[in-house]
Amino acid sequence: MRTWVAPGRVNIIGEHTDYNDGFVLPIALPLVTRCAAETTADGFVRVESRQRPGESVLVGIDELVAARDRLPGWARYPLGVVAEFVRRGHAVPGLVLELDGAVPIGAGLSSSAALSCSVAVALRDLCAPTVAVRELIDIARAAENDYAGAPTGVLDQSAAMLCTAGHALFLDVRRFSTADAGYEQIPFDLATFGLELLVVDTGQPHELVDGGYARRRAECASAAAELGVPALRDAEAADVARITDPIGRRRARHVITENARVVAVAEKLRRGADPREIGPDLSAGHASLRDDFEVSTDALDTAVTAALDAGAHGARMVGGGFGGSVIALVDRDRTDAVAAAVGDRFARSGFPAPRTFVVVPAAGARREL
């Protein structure tokens, strides 16, 4: 049995822009999900997870679609990948999948994409070696959207597949989906500047299948339709006033300004600027997610405020929102102090103690053993 891995991710900037055909700038995390896999000849898929002891799932290859609604939610991600390979005409004789995830679940760090992508690269190598990486991304996205019921864009799967160590991935979602281009690896070396990227996991889990994320997508689509543009990526700041629905105006304003922030941050990093310069962009992104997109929470806001008060150069929530994590750009010699300040603020606010850790840009999905 061989092992494949795929990482979680944090988005430096660019939330809720991917499904609006916009721009994103993620890095892959050192934290990964492992998929040990081997083929069998019995026509069944057996899935086990170290995080779900005693919950082995066994389903026939030809029963994957019919059995979906009877399966536990966690198993729909890996089995959705298998179902998508089969739907696309790839022969899968049978499989054993043994999963082990180190990406915190519900922390806004894309544990689901890490899971789906680790299975996708395993199936490619075992059953369909000619499948290109762009199709793998689409397979993993389809598995999450259509099988697991999580209405994600393409950001998470692209980050898990395409990111490289030491770099942030600048992704133009529209170009990436329509042409043989659309992404760029931009050096993201904080250590040279005496900086670190601190993640604060609030312990307040988010859940993309609970409806809030889907509502935001629908609100963005409605705003774009009212403006007569294919997606909010095509709108400009002056267009916001033409949207009659106040909720639609707020959603559009976030997407338009967030796209501008991604482009600005990417340009600063591309020219080798001191990353401290992007701090205000991160903080502005959080304010927009809090006020215009309305996906932040009291715990996320508390973490951001505490980090900034303790000297962080910028801080913001990451992921789809409604819970999850915050990132803070901090001087290396202040990391412990910032983490302690956030923990103290949480204690005084009555929140459970957060988990904090430092991340660096890591490699994307790959065979490990």
Strand partners, 197: 329, 359
Of the residues 156, 172, 239, 292, only one is catalytic, namely 156
Q: Which two tokens stand for residue 365?
A: 């999905």
Q: Are strands 95-101 and 44-49 parallel, antiparallel or unpaired?
A: parallel
**Length of the chain counted residue by residue:** 369
Q: Sign of dihedral through CA atoms 49, 119, 210, 212?
A: positive
CA nearest neighbour of 241 among 264, 214, 223:
223
Q: Which two tokens stand for residue 200?
A: 């604060």
Which residue type is seen at 128? A
Active site (annotated) includes residue 42:
no
CA distance 166 to 279: 19
Note whether 326 and 285 are within 8 A (CB): no
CA distance 24 to 221: 18
Q: Which two tokens stand for residue 164?
A: 């490289």
Catalytic site residues?
A: 156
